[in-house]
Structure 1
Amino acid sequence: MQELEQRPGGVTGPAPAVLAQGVTKRFGGVVALDNVTFSARAGEVTALVGDNGAGKSTLIRCLSGVHSPDEGGLFMNGAPVTFSGPNDARLAGIETVHQNLALADNLDVAANLFLGRELSGGPRSLFRLRKKPMEAKAAELIDEYGIRMPNIKAKVGAMSGGQRQGIAIARAVGWGSEVVLMDEPTAALGVKETGRVLEVVRSLADRGLAVVLISHNIEQVMQVSDFVWVLRGGHMIADLRAENTNTQEVVHYITTGVGLGA
Protein backbone atom coordinates (compact mmCIF):
# COMPACT_ATOMS: atom_id res chain seq x y z
CA MET A 1 0.00 0.00 0.00
CA GLN A 2 1.26 3.45 -0.89
CA GLU A 3 1.75 5.37 2.37
CA LEU A 4 2.56 9.04 2.47
CA GLU A 5 2.80 9.20 6.25
CA GLN A 6 3.48 6.61 8.88
CA ARG A 7 0.32 4.74 9.87
CA PRO A 8 -0.66 3.30 12.44
CA GLY A 9 2.12 1.08 13.83
CA GLY A 10 4.91 3.64 14.28
CA VAL A 11 2.72 6.69 14.48
CA THR A 12 3.54 9.46 16.92
CA GLY A 13 1.09 11.76 18.67
CA PRO A 14 -2.50 10.97 19.67
CA ALA A 15 -4.02 7.66 18.62
CA PRO A 16 -6.57 7.80 15.79
CA ALA A 17 -10.13 8.55 16.85
CA VAL A 18 -11.09 5.35 15.05
CA LEU A 19 -8.89 2.58 13.67
CA ALA A 20 -9.72 -0.60 11.80
CA GLN A 21 -6.62 -2.79 11.91
CA GLY A 22 -6.15 -5.88 9.76
CA VAL A 23 -9.90 -6.24 9.21
CA THR A 24 -11.15 -9.12 7.08
CA LYS A 25 -14.84 -9.65 6.35
CA ARG A 26 -16.28 -12.59 4.41
CA PHE A 27 -19.76 -13.27 3.11
CA GLY A 28 -19.79 -16.95 2.26
CA GLY A 29 -17.03 -17.47 -0.28
CA VAL A 30 -16.71 -13.76 -1.04
CA VAL A 31 -13.95 -11.82 0.72
CA ALA A 32 -15.33 -8.27 0.91
CA LEU A 33 -12.40 -6.92 2.97
CA ASP A 34 -8.98 -8.55 3.04
CA ASN A 35 -6.64 -7.51 5.88
CA VAL A 36 -7.73 -3.86 5.64
CA THR A 37 -6.28 -1.15 7.87
CA PHE A 38 -7.90 2.29 7.97
CA SER A 39 -7.80 5.18 10.43
CA ALA A 40 -9.32 8.63 10.92
CA ARG A 41 -8.09 11.32 13.28
CA ALA A 42 -9.83 14.04 15.24
CA GLY A 43 -9.80 17.36 13.43
CA GLU A 44 -9.42 15.82 9.98
CA VAL A 45 -11.64 14.88 7.04
CA THR A 46 -10.58 11.41 5.92
CA ALA A 47 -11.98 10.32 2.57
CA LEU A 48 -12.64 6.70 1.67
CA VAL A 49 -12.89 6.19 -2.09
CA GLY A 50 -13.09 3.31 -4.52
CA ASP A 51 -15.20 1.92 -7.32
CA ASN A 52 -18.48 0.09 -6.77
CA GLY A 53 -17.78 -3.21 -5.04
CA ALA A 54 -14.44 -2.05 -3.64
CA GLY A 55 -15.52 -2.70 -0.06
CA LYS A 56 -16.33 0.84 1.14
CA SER A 57 -19.82 0.00 2.37
CA THR A 58 -18.61 -3.13 4.15
CA LEU A 59 -15.87 -1.21 5.96
CA ILE A 60 -18.31 1.51 7.02
CA ARG A 61 -20.73 -1.13 8.27
CA CYS A 62 -17.95 -2.64 10.37
CA LEU A 63 -17.08 0.77 11.82
CA SER A 64 -20.74 1.53 12.54
CA GLY A 65 -21.53 -1.79 14.21
CA VAL A 66 -23.69 -3.31 11.47
CA HIS A 67 -21.11 -6.03 10.74
CA SER A 68 -18.49 -7.61 12.98
CA PRO A 69 -15.04 -8.26 11.47
CA ASP A 70 -14.16 -11.91 10.95
CA GLU A 71 -10.51 -11.05 11.60
CA GLY A 72 -8.72 -7.97 12.88
CA GLY A 73 -10.06 -5.39 15.29
CA LEU A 74 -11.45 -1.93 15.87
CA PHE A 75 -9.98 0.71 18.16
CA MET A 76 -11.12 4.11 19.40
CA ASN A 77 -8.49 6.48 20.74
CA GLY A 78 -6.13 3.53 21.12
CA ALA A 79 -8.53 1.30 23.07
CA PRO A 80 -10.00 -1.89 21.53
CA VAL A 81 -13.76 -1.85 20.99
CA THR A 82 -16.34 -4.40 19.90
CA PHE A 83 -19.83 -3.59 18.69
CA SER A 84 -22.77 -5.97 18.81
CA GLY A 85 -24.88 -3.53 16.81
CA PRO A 86 -25.19 0.09 15.61
CA ASN A 87 -26.36 1.29 19.00
CA ASP A 88 -23.07 0.16 20.56
CA ALA A 89 -21.19 2.22 17.97
CA ARG A 90 -23.36 5.26 18.68
CA LEU A 91 -22.82 4.92 22.42
CA ALA A 92 -19.07 4.77 21.76
CA GLY A 93 -19.28 8.02 19.79
CA ILE A 94 -19.59 6.89 16.16
CA GLU A 95 -22.54 8.34 14.24
CA THR A 96 -23.46 7.65 10.62
CA VAL A 97 -25.15 9.95 8.10
CA HIS A 98 -26.62 7.47 5.63
CA GLN A 99 -27.14 8.27 1.96
CA ASN A 100 -30.91 7.87 2.40
CA LEU A 101 -30.70 10.20 5.48
CA ALA A 102 -33.28 8.16 7.47
CA LEU A 103 -35.48 11.21 8.14
CA ALA A 104 -39.20 11.21 8.96
CA ASP A 105 -40.78 13.43 6.29
CA ASN A 106 -43.99 13.96 8.27
CA LEU A 107 -42.15 15.43 11.28
CA ASP A 108 -40.56 18.83 11.77
CA VAL A 109 -36.87 19.63 12.26
CA ALA A 110 -36.85 19.33 16.05
CA ALA A 111 -38.73 16.03 16.02
CA ASN A 112 -36.23 14.59 13.53
CA LEU A 113 -33.23 15.77 15.53
CA PHE A 114 -34.63 14.12 18.67
CA LEU A 115 -35.96 11.00 16.95
CA GLY A 116 -35.42 8.20 19.47
CA ARG A 117 -34.10 10.69 22.03
CA GLU A 118 -37.27 12.66 22.72
CA LEU A 119 -37.51 14.77 25.87
CA SER A 120 -40.55 13.98 28.01
CA GLY A 121 -42.08 15.79 30.94
CA GLY A 122 -41.29 13.41 33.78
CA PRO A 123 -43.10 10.57 35.59
CA ARG A 124 -46.56 12.18 35.60
CA SER A 125 -46.45 13.13 31.95
CA LEU A 126 -44.36 10.34 30.50
CA PHE A 127 -45.80 10.63 27.01
CA ARG A 128 -45.96 14.44 26.86
CA LEU A 129 -43.01 15.68 24.85
CA ARG A 130 -41.21 18.82 25.93
CA LYS A 131 -41.52 20.49 22.56
CA LYS A 132 -40.18 23.93 23.48
CA PRO A 133 -36.85 22.67 24.90
CA MET A 134 -36.53 20.38 21.89
CA GLU A 135 -37.16 23.26 19.49
CA ALA A 136 -34.68 25.47 21.36
CA LYS A 137 -31.99 22.78 21.21
CA ALA A 138 -32.73 22.16 17.54
CA ALA A 139 -32.35 25.85 16.74
CA GLU A 140 -29.07 25.91 18.67
CA LEU A 141 -27.66 22.95 16.73
CA ILE A 142 -28.76 24.32 13.37
CA ASP A 143 -27.15 27.67 14.15
CA GLU A 144 -23.99 26.19 15.68
CA TYR A 145 -23.12 24.23 12.56
CA GLY A 146 -24.08 26.96 10.11
CA ILE A 147 -26.95 25.03 8.55
CA ARG A 148 -29.39 27.30 6.73
CA MET A 149 -32.91 26.50 7.86
CA PRO A 150 -35.78 28.97 7.34
CA ASN A 151 -38.16 27.42 9.87
CA ILE A 152 -37.43 24.59 12.30
CA LYS A 153 -41.17 23.97 12.68
CA ALA A 154 -41.57 23.11 9.00
CA LYS A 155 -42.11 19.51 7.95
CA VAL A 156 -38.91 17.92 6.68
CA GLY A 157 -40.66 16.44 3.65
CA ALA A 158 -41.13 19.93 2.21
CA MET A 159 -37.45 20.87 2.46
CA SER A 160 -34.70 20.89 -0.16
CA GLY A 161 -32.09 18.18 -0.44
CA GLY A 162 -29.43 20.39 1.10
CA GLN A 163 -31.62 21.30 4.06
CA ARG A 164 -32.47 17.64 4.63
CA GLN A 165 -28.80 16.74 4.53
CA GLY A 166 -28.11 19.49 7.06
CA ILE A 167 -30.71 18.06 9.43
CA ALA A 168 -29.18 14.59 9.17
CA ILE A 169 -25.72 16.01 9.89
CA ALA A 170 -26.94 18.04 12.87
CA ARG A 171 -28.63 14.94 14.29
CA ALA A 172 -25.40 12.96 13.93
CA VAL A 173 -23.14 15.51 15.62
CA GLY A 174 -25.52 16.84 18.25
CA TRP A 175 -25.07 14.05 20.79
CA GLY A 176 -21.42 14.14 21.73
CA SER A 177 -20.15 12.09 18.81
CA GLU A 178 -16.41 11.84 18.14
CA VAL A 179 -16.54 10.22 14.71
CA VAL A 180 -19.01 10.98 11.91
CA LEU A 181 -19.29 8.60 8.96
CA MET A 182 -20.81 10.39 5.95
CA ASP A 183 -22.01 8.28 3.02
CA GLU A 184 -22.26 10.29 -0.23
CA PRO A 185 -23.51 13.48 1.50
CA THR A 186 -23.73 15.50 -1.74
CA ALA A 187 -25.44 12.89 -3.90
CA ALA A 188 -28.32 14.38 -5.93
CA LEU A 189 -27.65 17.93 -4.68
CA GLY A 190 -27.31 21.02 -6.87
CA VAL A 191 -24.11 23.03 -7.12
CA LYS A 192 -25.05 25.62 -4.50
CA GLU A 193 -26.35 23.07 -1.98
CA THR A 194 -23.31 20.87 -2.55
CA GLY A 195 -21.05 23.80 -1.69
CA ARG A 196 -22.93 24.44 1.53
CA VAL A 197 -22.81 20.79 2.60
CA LEU A 198 -19.07 20.62 1.91
CA GLU A 199 -18.60 23.73 4.07
CA VAL A 200 -20.39 21.94 6.92
CA VAL A 201 -18.27 18.81 6.42
CA ARG A 202 -15.08 20.85 6.70
CA SER A 203 -16.40 22.79 9.70
CA LEU A 204 -17.07 19.56 11.61
CA ALA A 205 -13.41 18.59 11.35
CA ASP A 206 -12.33 22.11 12.24
CA ARG A 207 -14.35 21.70 15.45
CA GLY A 208 -12.35 18.60 16.37
CA LEU A 209 -14.45 15.72 15.05
CA ALA A 210 -13.07 12.88 12.98
CA VAL A 211 -15.03 12.96 9.73
CA VAL A 212 -15.01 9.98 7.36
CA LEU A 213 -16.26 10.98 3.92
CA ILE A 214 -17.36 8.33 1.43
CA SER A 215 -17.80 9.75 -2.06
CA HIS A 216 -17.50 8.94 -5.76
CA ASN A 217 -16.89 12.61 -6.56
CA ILE A 218 -13.11 12.85 -6.34
CA GLU A 219 -13.01 16.59 -7.07
CA GLN A 220 -15.22 17.23 -4.03
CA VAL A 221 -13.10 14.85 -1.97
CA MET A 222 -9.99 16.85 -2.82
CA GLN A 223 -11.70 20.12 -1.83
CA VAL A 224 -12.30 19.17 1.80
CA SER A 225 -10.16 16.15 2.73
CA ASP A 226 -6.89 15.90 4.64
CA PHE A 227 -6.27 12.26 3.72
CA VAL A 228 -7.59 9.99 0.98
CA TRP A 229 -7.67 6.21 1.40
CA VAL A 230 -8.30 4.05 -1.69
CA LEU A 231 -10.00 0.65 -1.57
CA ARG A 232 -9.85 -1.67 -4.56
CA GLY A 233 -11.22 -5.20 -4.67
CA GLY A 234 -11.38 -5.43 -0.89
CA HIS A 235 -7.76 -4.30 -0.43
CA MET A 236 -6.58 -0.94 0.89
CA ILE A 237 -4.10 0.10 -1.79
CA ALA A 238 -3.27 3.72 -0.92
CA ASP A 239 -3.24 6.17 1.97
CA LEU A 240 -2.57 9.61 0.49
CA ARG A 241 -2.07 12.99 2.06
CA ALA A 242 -4.46 15.21 0.07
CA GLU A 243 -2.02 18.09 -0.26
CA ASN A 244 0.54 15.77 -1.86
CA THR A 245 -1.73 14.20 -4.48
CA ASN A 246 -4.37 15.26 -7.01
CA THR A 247 -7.61 14.13 -8.60
CA GLN A 248 -5.85 12.43 -11.51
CA GLU A 249 -3.64 10.29 -9.26
CA VAL A 250 -6.54 9.24 -7.02
CA VAL A 251 -8.60 8.24 -10.07
CA HIS A 252 -5.59 6.32 -11.41
CA TYR A 253 -5.34 4.37 -8.15
CA ILE A 254 -9.06 3.57 -8.27
CA THR A 255 -8.98 2.35 -11.87
CA THR A 256 -5.57 0.65 -12.07
CA GLY A 257 -4.46 -0.03 -8.50
CA VAL A 258 -1.21 1.93 -8.86
CA GLY A 259 -0.11 5.57 -8.75
CA LEU A 260 0.77 7.74 -11.73
CA GLY A 261 4.51 7.21 -11.27
CA ALA A 262 4.30 3.42 -11.17
Structure 2
Amino acid sequence: MPILSLSGITKTFGAVAALTGIDLDVEAGEVVAIVGDNGAGKSTLVKILSGVHAADSGTITFEGGQAHIATPADAHRLGIATVFQDLALCENLNVIENLFLGQELRALRLDDVAMEVRSWELLRQLSAKIPSVRTPVASLSGGQRQTVAIARSLLADPKVVILDEPTAALGVAQTAEVLNLIERLRDRGLGVIMISHNMADVKAVADKVAVLRLGRNNGTFAVGEVSQEDIIAAITGATDNVVTRRAQSQERLRQ
Protein backbone atom coordinates (compact mmCIF):
# COMPACT_ATOMS: atom_id res chain seq x y z
CA MET A 1 0.00 0.00 0.00
CA PRO A 2 1.40 3.45 -0.91
CA ILE A 3 2.24 5.63 2.08
CA LEU A 4 0.85 8.63 0.15
CA SER A 5 -1.74 8.45 -2.60
CA LEU A 6 -3.37 11.27 -4.58
CA SER A 7 -6.49 10.69 -6.64
CA GLY A 8 -8.16 13.25 -8.90
CA ILE A 9 -6.48 16.30 -7.34
CA THR A 10 -7.75 19.48 -8.99
CA LYS A 11 -6.85 23.10 -8.28
CA THR A 12 -7.94 26.26 -10.09
CA PHE A 13 -7.02 29.89 -9.62
CA GLY A 14 -9.88 31.86 -11.10
CA ALA A 15 -10.15 30.82 -14.75
CA VAL A 16 -6.76 29.09 -14.71
CA ALA A 17 -6.74 25.33 -14.13
CA ALA A 18 -3.40 24.70 -12.42
CA LEU A 19 -4.05 20.98 -11.80
CA THR A 20 -6.67 18.69 -13.29
CA GLY A 21 -7.28 15.13 -12.07
CA ILE A 22 -3.77 14.44 -10.75
CA ASP A 23 -3.04 10.90 -9.55
CA LEU A 24 0.18 9.98 -7.73
CA ASP A 25 1.36 7.15 -5.48
CA VAL A 26 4.44 7.23 -3.25
CA GLU A 27 5.60 4.15 -1.37
CA ALA A 28 7.85 3.98 1.68
CA GLY A 29 11.51 3.72 0.68
CA GLU A 30 10.82 5.09 -2.79
CA VAL A 31 12.04 8.21 -4.59
CA VAL A 32 9.44 9.63 -6.96
CA ALA A 33 10.62 12.39 -9.30
CA ILE A 34 7.99 14.84 -10.55
CA VAL A 35 9.07 16.50 -13.77
CA GLY A 36 7.45 18.87 -16.19
CA ASP A 37 7.95 22.12 -18.06
CA ASN A 38 7.43 25.52 -16.46
CA GLY A 39 3.72 25.94 -15.75
CA ALA A 40 3.09 22.20 -15.65
CA GLY A 41 1.75 22.39 -12.08
CA LYS A 42 4.69 21.03 -10.09
CA SER A 43 4.86 23.92 -7.63
CA THR A 44 1.09 23.91 -7.12
CA LEU A 45 1.17 20.19 -6.33
CA VAL A 46 3.97 20.73 -3.78
CA LYS A 47 2.01 23.53 -2.13
CA ILE A 48 -1.10 21.35 -1.87
CA LEU A 49 0.88 18.56 -0.20
CA SER A 50 2.60 21.01 2.15
CA GLY A 51 -0.65 22.75 3.11
CA VAL A 52 0.01 26.12 1.47
CA HIS A 53 -2.98 25.63 -0.86
CA ALA A 54 -6.00 23.39 -0.37
CA ALA A 55 -7.11 21.22 -3.29
CA ASP A 56 -10.50 22.11 -4.82
CA SER A 57 -11.36 18.44 -5.30
CA GLY A 58 -9.81 15.00 -5.17
CA THR A 59 -8.67 12.65 -2.42
CA ILE A 60 -5.43 12.45 -0.45
CA THR A 61 -4.76 9.16 1.33
CA PHE A 62 -1.95 8.88 3.88
CA GLU A 63 -0.98 5.55 5.43
CA GLY A 64 -4.26 4.03 4.30
CA GLY A 65 -6.56 6.70 5.71
CA GLN A 66 -8.13 9.69 4.01
CA ALA A 67 -6.33 12.92 4.92
CA HIS A 68 -7.31 16.57 4.78
CA ILE A 69 -4.45 19.03 4.31
CA ALA A 70 -5.66 22.61 4.68
CA THR A 71 -2.68 24.17 6.48
CA PRO A 72 1.06 23.51 6.88
CA ALA A 73 0.29 22.32 10.42
CA ASP A 74 -1.96 19.60 8.96
CA ALA A 75 0.89 18.37 6.72
CA HIS A 76 3.30 18.49 9.66
CA ARG A 77 0.98 16.42 11.87
CA LEU A 78 0.51 13.81 9.15
CA GLY A 79 4.25 13.41 8.67
CA ILE A 80 4.88 15.33 5.46
CA ALA A 81 7.96 17.59 5.48
CA THR A 82 8.82 19.98 2.67
CA VAL A 83 12.16 21.56 1.78
CA PHE A 84 11.43 24.44 -0.56
CA GLN A 85 13.88 25.68 -3.17
CA ASP A 86 14.81 28.82 -1.19
CA LEU A 87 15.63 26.60 1.87
CA ALA A 88 14.35 29.30 4.30
CA LEU A 89 17.59 29.41 6.29
CA CYS A 90 18.81 32.37 8.38
CA GLU A 91 22.37 33.05 7.27
CA ASN A 92 23.30 34.97 10.42
CA LEU A 93 22.46 31.96 12.63
CA ASN A 94 24.52 28.82 13.09
CA VAL A 95 23.50 25.26 12.16
CA ILE A 96 21.92 24.44 15.54
CA GLU A 97 19.92 27.66 15.60
CA ASN A 98 18.62 27.01 12.09
CA LEU A 99 17.70 23.41 12.83
CA PHE A 100 15.67 24.33 15.91
CA LEU A 101 14.36 27.73 14.83
CA GLY A 102 10.84 27.93 16.25
CA GLN A 103 11.22 24.46 17.81
CA GLU A 104 13.78 25.21 20.50
CA LEU A 105 14.25 22.71 23.34
CA ARG A 106 13.73 24.43 26.65
CA ALA A 107 12.76 23.81 30.24
CA LEU A 108 13.40 26.98 32.19
CA ARG A 109 15.84 28.15 29.53
CA LEU A 110 17.22 26.99 26.20
CA ASP A 111 18.81 23.54 26.41
CA ASP A 112 21.86 24.19 24.21
CA VAL A 113 23.48 20.86 25.03
CA ALA A 114 20.45 18.77 24.04
CA MET A 115 20.01 20.73 20.80
CA GLU A 116 23.68 20.28 19.89
CA VAL A 117 23.52 16.53 20.57
CA ARG A 118 20.35 16.17 18.50
CA SER A 119 21.88 18.24 15.69
CA TRP A 120 24.89 15.94 15.45
CA GLU A 121 22.58 12.89 15.49
CA LEU A 122 20.61 14.20 12.52
CA LEU A 123 23.72 15.16 10.57
CA ARG A 124 25.37 11.78 11.22
CA GLN A 125 22.26 10.00 9.95
CA LEU A 126 22.75 11.89 6.69
CA SER A 127 26.56 11.43 6.73
CA ALA A 128 26.74 15.20 6.40
CA LYS A 129 30.06 16.93 5.69
CA ILE A 130 29.67 19.90 8.02
CA PRO A 131 32.72 20.78 10.16
CA SER A 132 30.83 22.22 13.13
CA VAL A 133 27.23 22.79 14.15
CA ARG A 134 28.38 26.14 15.55
CA THR A 135 29.31 27.32 12.04
CA PRO A 136 27.18 30.19 10.68
CA VAL A 137 25.08 29.09 7.71
CA ALA A 138 26.47 32.05 5.72
CA SER A 139 29.86 30.27 5.57
CA LEU A 140 28.47 26.95 4.26
CA SER A 141 28.43 25.79 0.64
CA GLY A 142 25.22 25.28 -1.31
CA GLY A 143 25.30 21.53 -0.74
CA GLN A 144 25.90 21.97 3.00
CA ARG A 145 22.99 24.41 3.24
CA GLN A 146 20.75 21.88 1.51
CA THR A 147 21.93 19.33 4.08
CA VAL A 148 20.92 21.63 6.95
CA ALA A 149 17.49 22.21 5.39
CA ILE A 150 16.93 18.47 4.92
CA ALA A 151 18.14 17.72 8.46
CA ARG A 152 15.70 20.31 9.82
CA SER A 153 12.85 18.57 7.99
CA LEU A 154 13.71 15.32 9.81
CA LEU A 155 13.30 16.77 13.31
CA ALA A 156 9.66 15.67 13.51
CA ASP A 157 10.37 12.16 12.11
CA PRO A 158 8.31 12.56 8.91
CA LYS A 159 7.17 9.68 6.72
CA VAL A 160 7.36 11.65 3.44
CA VAL A 161 9.90 14.32 2.48
CA ILE A 162 9.29 16.67 -0.46
CA LEU A 163 12.36 18.29 -2.06
CA ASP A 164 11.71 21.20 -4.42
CA GLU A 165 14.56 21.50 -6.95
CA PRO A 166 17.18 20.28 -4.43
CA THR A 167 20.12 20.52 -6.86
CA ALA A 168 19.26 23.80 -8.58
CA ALA A 169 22.26 26.15 -8.92
CA LEU A 170 24.67 23.63 -7.35
CA GLY A 171 28.03 22.58 -8.73
CA VAL A 172 28.92 19.01 -9.66
CA ALA A 173 30.42 18.04 -6.28
CA GLN A 174 27.59 19.68 -4.32
CA THR A 175 24.98 18.02 -6.53
CA ALA A 176 26.55 14.61 -5.86
CA GLU A 177 26.44 15.38 -2.13
CA VAL A 178 22.70 16.18 -2.26
CA LEU A 179 21.92 13.08 -4.35
CA ASN A 180 23.70 11.00 -1.71
CA LEU A 181 21.44 12.59 0.91
CA ILE A 182 18.36 11.59 -1.09
CA GLU A 183 19.57 8.00 -1.24
CA ARG A 184 20.04 8.01 2.54
CA LEU A 185 16.49 9.24 3.02
CA ARG A 186 15.26 6.34 0.89
CA ASP A 187 17.46 3.90 2.82
CA ARG A 188 15.76 5.08 6.02
CA GLY A 189 12.42 3.98 4.58
CA LEU A 190 11.05 7.44 3.84
CA GLY A 191 8.97 8.27 0.82
CA VAL A 192 10.74 11.01 -1.13
CA ILE A 193 9.17 13.31 -3.72
CA MET A 194 11.76 15.18 -5.75
CA ILE A 195 10.83 18.05 -8.07
CA SER A 196 13.52 18.46 -10.69
CA HIS A 197 14.36 19.75 -14.16
CA ASN A 198 17.63 17.82 -14.29
CA MET A 199 17.15 14.51 -16.09
CA ALA A 200 20.60 13.25 -15.05
CA ASP A 201 19.70 13.70 -11.37
CA VAL A 202 16.34 12.02 -11.93
CA LYS A 203 17.93 9.00 -13.61
CA ALA A 204 20.58 8.83 -10.87
CA VAL A 205 18.36 8.54 -7.78
CA ALA A 206 14.66 8.22 -8.68
CA ASP A 207 12.80 4.92 -8.73
CA LYS A 208 9.81 6.35 -10.57
CA VAL A 209 9.16 9.42 -12.72
CA ALA A 210 5.77 11.15 -12.87
CA VAL A 211 5.41 13.62 -15.74
CA LEU A 212 3.07 16.61 -15.52
CA ARG A 213 2.06 18.50 -18.63
CA LEU A 214 -0.27 21.51 -18.58
CA GLY A 215 -1.57 20.53 -15.14
CA ARG A 216 -2.37 16.92 -16.04
CA ASN A 217 -0.70 13.52 -15.69
CA ASN A 218 1.23 12.67 -18.83
CA GLY A 219 2.77 9.38 -17.85
CA THR A 220 4.41 7.55 -14.94
CA PHE A 221 7.53 5.54 -15.70
CA ALA A 222 9.88 3.19 -13.88
CA VAL A 223 13.31 4.79 -14.22
CA GLY A 224 15.02 1.56 -15.21
CA GLU A 225 12.57 1.00 -18.06
CA VAL A 226 12.49 4.41 -19.75
CA SER A 227 15.03 6.49 -21.64
CA GLN A 228 15.79 10.12 -21.03
CA GLU A 229 14.44 10.92 -24.49
CA ASP A 230 11.09 9.28 -23.68
CA ILE A 231 10.78 11.39 -20.52
CA ILE A 232 11.56 14.57 -22.44
CA ALA A 233 9.01 13.59 -25.10
CA ALA A 234 6.36 13.19 -22.39
CA ILE A 235 7.30 16.57 -20.90
CA THR A 236 7.09 18.40 -24.21
CA GLY A 237 4.17 16.41 -25.55
CA ALA A 238 6.04 15.54 -28.70
CA THR A 239 8.01 12.55 -29.83
CA ASP A 240 9.50 14.37 -32.83
CA ASN A 241 11.92 16.88 -31.38
CA VAL A 242 15.60 17.77 -31.68
CA VAL A 243 16.59 15.57 -28.73
CA THR A 244 14.97 12.41 -30.04
CA ARG A 245 16.15 13.09 -33.60
CA ARG A 246 19.75 13.50 -32.39
CA ALA A 247 19.52 10.26 -30.38
CA GLN A 248 18.08 8.38 -33.36
CA SER A 249 20.81 9.76 -35.62
CA GLN A 250 23.54 8.66 -33.19
CA GLU A 251 21.96 5.21 -32.91
CA ARG A 252 21.96 4.82 -36.71
CA LEU A 253 25.63 5.84 -36.85
CA ARG A 254 26.52 3.23 -34.22
CA GLN A 255 24.74 0.56 -36.25
TM over 0.5, shorter chain: yes
Match of 1:147 among 128, 152, 156: 128
Of 12, 27, 36, the residue aligned with 1:26 is 12
- The equivalent residue for 1:184 is 165
1:132 CA drift (Å): 0.9
Which of the residues 32, 37, 45 maps onto 2:31? Answer: 45
CA distance, structure 1, for counterparts of residue 44 and residue 239 of structure 2: 22
Per the TM alignment, residue 258 of structure 1 is displaced from its structure 2 partner at its CA by 6.0
Q: Which structure 1 residue ranges, 4+ long, deviate > 2 Å from structure 2?
A: 257-260
Aligned residues of 1:230 and 1:237 also touching (Cα < 8 A): yes
1:72 pairs with 2:58 = yes
Q: Percent identity?
A: 44
Query: What is the one-letter code of the residue matched to 1:198?
Result: L
Deviations 1:120-169 (A, max 9, x none): 12xxx2xx211111011101110111111011101111111111000001
Structure 1, unmatched stretches of 5+, are 1-14
> RMSD across aligned C-alpha pairs, in angstroms?
1.3
The structure with the greater share of residues assigned to helix is 2
How far has the Cα of 1:252 moved from its partner? 1.0
Q: In structure 2, what is the Cα distance between the partners aligned to 1:87 and 1:148?
A: 31
- Residues 89-118 of structure 1 deviation map (CA, whole Å, 9 limit, x = unaligned): 011100001100011111111111111110
Equivalence for 1:91: 77
Contact 1:237 1:257 in 2 (8 A): no
Q: Does 1:207 align with 2:188?
A: yes
- Compared CA separation, residues 170 and 112, structure 1 to 2 (3 A): same
Q: What's 2:22 paired with?
A: 36
Alignment-mate amino acid for residue 118 of structure 2: K
Unaligned stretches of 5+ in structure 2? 245-255
**Corresponding residue of 1:109:** 95
* Aligned residue-pair number: 241
Shift of 1:84: 2.2
Task: Please report how far the alpha carbon of residue 20 of structure 1 lies from its aligned counterpart in structure 2 after TM superposition.
Answer: 1.3
Once the two structures are TM-superposed, the CA of residue 173 in structure 1 deviates from its matched residue by 1.8
Determine if the alignment matches structure 1 residue 129 to structure 2 residue 110.
yes
Aligned to 2:237: 256
Q: Deviations over 1:55-112 (max 9, x none)?
A: 0011111111111111111110121011221111011100001100011111111111
